[in-house]
Amino acid sequence: MTSRAITRRTALGSAAAASTLASLSRPVHAVTQSDVLVIGAGLSGLRAALDLQEQGQSVQVVEGNKRVGGRVLSLYDVPGSPEAGGNGIGAGYGRMLDAATKYGAELHNIADRAPLMLARDLVLDGQKISEKDWPDHPKNPFKGPLKKIMPWSIVPVLASTKNPLGKNYEDWYDPKSFNLDISLADWLRQQGLDEAAINLAFNTNVDHGQSADEVSALMIFFVYAWGNMQRDITPRATYAAKGGNMRIPEAMARALKKEVHFNKAVIGIRSDDTGAEAVCADGSVYRAKRIVCSVPTAVLRTMKIDPLPPAIQAKAIRTLGFQILTQTHLVASKPFWNEDGIQPSMFTNSLCGNVLAQHFGKTPEEVTSITCWARGWQAAKLDRMPEAEAKKAVLADFERIRPAAKGKVRVAGFKSWYKDPFACGDWAVWQPGQVKEFILHLSKPHGRIHFCGEHTALSNRGMEGAMESGERAAQEVLAGI
């Protein structure tokens, strides 16, 4: 690099970063230069690193956390190793399946267990409402044929049967589809749903964003068109890595020639015509010919990027939405669900959110743990509490709804993705108008800096989308070297 290289002064990405650097007692030091530096050891970063390594490039991966996997996190200390991030692997996840085979992570088909996880009871205001009673129940806000559909199925049914993309899910990023980049709430209103119906069908246990007003209908169309494609693949299968899906990125990391450098929180990156470099909060500097940055935009926006990206790309990094998600994992000492007549899994309008039983025991029927998925308003409420208080609040709410569980469940695991400084939230959420504005700009290389991550994927979602983006970034690097 030239004399314009990052220093402790030029690397400041925020007031917090400035304070961190100012407190360093030793000088900034450089690490041996590599051909490519990959920031982030999640699926996308590892995929890019391995692809580049196979093409003869010297690659160094740095990771701010103390583990690999990014937003793939298996809770090894909870019975059954449930997933706090990165759940089922569909039959069409070609890159994920290939990586598991190639790097030695054993998979098993959990398709027989998936229906058991998704079978649930409706519990509103602490009261169980049976599917038989739901069509005529006073709490049912839907109209016509929708009155017979359980609340959690309303949006999936509408977004599947009335999806403007049909089976052409990749059309979501085609400019011809940008007229669909309106709020999901507006589209649901067009389908005849009023505010009470939208609130129960989407906002009560929100899948994307904080509410139906804050997520693009075009994104939702892509989500369901792509998901339906996965379900149409025969033979039908849903895979998981034995011992937890984090076994896959762990196996990928072991295949790297250079070990991942952990606890390396990058606070600034820059590039010029001579190379690229990144500075970390501990004062270390990594230099390379090119950088692949795989961190989510919510993390990237805390870093100093020099020179600044083009205005539209900078705006995308600064404003792209993300899912706030907080999970509480419960373990039962006794099958209390045999006492109160409510299934282990529930759809609630309380702090517990969407409750899903995990079936990762010796038999499909065995309930190894129960996950309370708090998103939207529930996650926001929990994230304002200290972790210990949040755990108590969820447990108290669970026992309030199900008195039979009192004294028979304990909190065995807890994860707030918003509070995780290396994620700052979970999957990307495209807000109304953002697909049209950003989709064709977000992933473009900026000088010698290349971007990947689930948020930059175009043809896939989730774990497979992350892998797709890493593959694409590696190809860009190779084309530029």
Rg (C-alpha) for the chain, rounded Å, is 23
Cross-strand pairs, 373: 327, 354
Q: How much is the pLDDT for 32?
A: 63
pLDDT at 253: 98
Q: What is the C-alpha to C-alpha distance for residues 480 and 477, in angstroms, rounded to an integer?
A: 5
pLDDT in the model for residue 30:
57
Cβ atoms 76, 98 nearer than 8 A: no
pLDDT of residue 236: 87
- Position 19 pLDDT exceeds 70: no
Of the given ranges (1-15, 326-340, 368-382), which has the lowest mean pLDDT?
1-15
Q: DSSP string of 228-263?
A: HHHHHSSS--EEEETT-TTHHHHHHHHT-SS--B-S
* Count of other CB atoms within 10 angstroms of residue 272: 15
Instruction: Give the model's confidence band at 20: pLDDT under 50 very low, under 70 low, under 90 confident, else very high.
Output: very low
How do residues 287-339 score in pLDDT, each as one tens digit? 999 999 999 999 999 999 999 999 999 999 999 999 999 999 999 999 999 99
For residue 475, is it left (φ>0), alpha (ψ between -120 and 50) or beta? alpha
pLDDT at 115: 85
Q: For residue 135, say if its preceding peptide bond is cis, omega within 30 degrees of 0.
A: no
pLDDT tens-digit series, residues 332-343: 999 999 999 999
Provide the pLDDT confidence category of residue 31 given band limits of 50, 70 and 90: low
Name the amino acid, one letter, at 243.
G
Kindly state the average pLDDT of the residues 209-220: 97
Count of Cβ atoms closer than 10 Å to residue 461 Cβ? 21
Q: Which of 160, 124, 158, 123 is nearest to 143 (CA)?
A: 158
pLDDT tens digits, residue range 407-416?
Answer: 999 999 999 9
Residue 10 has a pLDDT of 32
Higher pLDDT, 17 or 162: 162
The CA distance from 282 to 360, in Å, is 40
What is residue 141's three-state secondary structure?
Answer: coil
What average pLDDT score do residues 423-429 get?
Answer: 96
Q: Is the pLDDT assigned to residue 29 strictly greater than 60? A: no
Instruction: Supply the DSSP symbol for 431.
Output: P
Distance CA 321, CA 96 (A): 25
Per-residue pLDDT, 200:
98
